[in-house]
A and B are shown apart, each in its own frame.
Chain A
Amino acid sequence: MSQPAGAAVAVEGVDKSFGRIAALRRVSLWVEPGEAVALTGRSGSGKSTLLSLLGGLEQPDAGRVRIDGRAIWREPHPARARRELVGFIFQRHLLLGTLSARANVEVALIGAGVRHAERRRRALRLLEEVGLADRAEHLPSELSGGERQRVAVARAVANEPRLLLADEPTGALDSRTSERVLDLLFRLREELGMTMVVVSYDRAVGARADRTVTLIDGQVQSPSETALSAPPV
């Protein structure tokens, strides 16, 4: 695998509301290239909203979100920018139930216009990387929860993203399986040099991350908040 550099993440004074509910208020956050950040907080604190803003799935009401200086939402082709910069992992693996594990990984490569033979080769290599070479032709319904999540990880890194966003990737897994998935995630992050932001309640994630950022009622409340409020030098 090539070694793409991690992306720099800059969130400056971001507000986001859904109707009358303010999900994020004046949130600022900088993540250095290659850094792994654990995003914690109670349910409804705005973690997933912040993640979706980082991935360009939503537009902030105010403030700026930039990944390597690019505001995905404002790009002429947001889907392309997302593909080039970001990989997503969700709590629910969100695999396409009618497709095999291999085909699920290939789906990410279809968007990038990779040719059929090359797609197949790369998908198989990625499945081998996550330890599922022998399960490549199995449907999601034939895989365990941990295996499905590993397929989702393979899909997320298929386009060699510079920023990996994971929304409670171990939330639906038992502790042993969670540990395996986290091993995989942090190993891939090391190998690929990706920047990683992981939303999780799991303390194990915080322990492995470079730092932890806590959101309370839509605002950053981490011990290192002050340090995070200014751009990295």
Chain B
Amino acid sequence: MFAIITTNLLRSRARTIFTAGGIAVGVATIVALLSFTQGLRDTADEFIHLGGSELGIFQANVSDPTASILPAASVQQIAAQPDVAAATPLLLMVETVRADPSAVVFGAEPSGFFTHNLVLVAGHRPRPGAREVLIGDRLAEQLHLTPGGALVVQGRALRVAGVYHAGVLFEDSGAVLALAQAQQLTGRAGEETDVVVQLAPGARASAAGAAIERALPGTQAISDPQQALRAGADGTLISNAILVIVVIALIVGAISVANTMAMSIMERQGELALLSTVGWSPVRVASLIFGEGIALSTLGAALGLLFGVIGGGLLVSALGVSAYVSPSVTAWGLGRALLVGVAIGVLGGIYPAWRVTRMTPLKALSGT
């Protein structure tokens, strides 16, 4: 049976390739988006653990966590909470590095744990009051910068004091400068994006977060990546978009397979009738058609997985977010896309298989 399925698919190579190609595009889109959202989730995880923090405090109900604005005074109130061991404010500057717009610049207190936890691999820490910046090792490598060089941030050239490694993708792809300097460059005096928190020993993130939200109405404490993704409208939008694309891929793919298989059985009426005359039951003939549909969609899905893995990287580059999102392909993501591909074959094969069971051998043999 497998040999017959294979040879039947190879018989009309162009049709097989085009149908499988269509399915591949759908599956590839799903894989790319799933790897992108997994990358976003990973980024979100890193985002809320910036500088080794366990909790991030943001403005509630913002379109994106990076758009959050908190008053400068909030850090003292947060630090005063019993479950909090340390709290330090951050001002995130996006699209401010001319040479690499995807690089994120962090305005951070020089004495805070965020700056303190950076491991210097070259140069020195910025001197107080000097117009200096620390840059991540990935950004340094990308821009070929070394200590003593200049990085243009928000149109101002800052001297590179040192190069650090944090082990977090978008920290290492970005830069760090003093909070006051960041506020001055952006004209956001007295503002910060978020406050990152280290908890006291034994404190639970959820309980500490709830206490902070009560103490500072209008804030949102984020301690897990899912929460971070949900907090941003973009993350929710992408999740919903994937669901819509999965449904569209299923419908379009199933119609495509059904159309291909229907054309195939119309062309092969005599052949299928012959199988009936040599004793194949209608169920067996239908299972041949069904098998061809599933084989076709599985081939498309396999190609789609390959294209999707490549496409995930291209999507990140096309969106210009490669500095803080690294597409992450998981077995579960690939498995889901493969399931969609097989489901396309199952759905698309139902109608042609049913039609085959309704064919009368003689009519098919005589071509009437």
Contact = CB atoms under 8 A, between A and B. Distances in A.
B281 A80 contact: yes
B282 A90 contact: no
Contact of A98 (B7, B274, B277, B278): B7
Interface string B326-368: 0000000000000000000000000000000000111001000
B271 interface: yes
Interface in B282-324: 282, 284
Contacts of A82: 276-277, 279
B362 A52 contact: yes
Contact of A111 (B270, B280, B361): B280
Contacts of A96: 4, 271, 274
A111 B284 contact: yes
Contact of A110 (B8, B280, B360): B280
B144 interface: no
B362 A83 contact: no
Range for the number of chain B residues in contact with chain A: 20 to 34
A126 to B, nearest CB: 13
Contacts of B365: 57, 90, 94
Given A98-B11, A107-B275, A110-B1, A58 B362 contact: yes
Contacts of A80: 279, 281
Contacts of B274: 94, 96
A83 B285 CA distance: 14
A99 B277 contact: no
A97 B361 CA distance: 19
A55 interface: yes
Contact of A155 (B3, B11, B270, B278): B278
Nearest to B6: A98
Interface string A73-99: 000010110111000101000101111
Best-buried of A79, A83, A103, A111 by chain B (most CB within 10 Å): A79
Interface in A141-156: 155-156
Interface string B1-16: 1011001101100000
A159 interface: yes
Contacts of B277: 55, 57, 82, 88
A182 interface: no
Interface of B: 1, 3-4, 7-8, 10-11, 270-271, 274-282, 284, 360-362, 365
Given A82-B279, A108-B278, A111-B280, 5 more contacts: A96-B274, A107-B275, A107-B280, A111-B279, A156-B278
Interface of A: 52, 55, 57-58, 77, 79-80, 82-84, 88, 90, 94, 96-99, 103, 107-108, 110-112, 155-156, 158-159
17 contacts: A55-B277, A57-B277, A57-B362, A58-B360, A79-B276, A79-B280, A82-B277, A94-B274, A97-B11, A98-B7, A98-B11, A103-B3, A103-B4, A107-B275, A107-B278, A108-B279, A111-B275
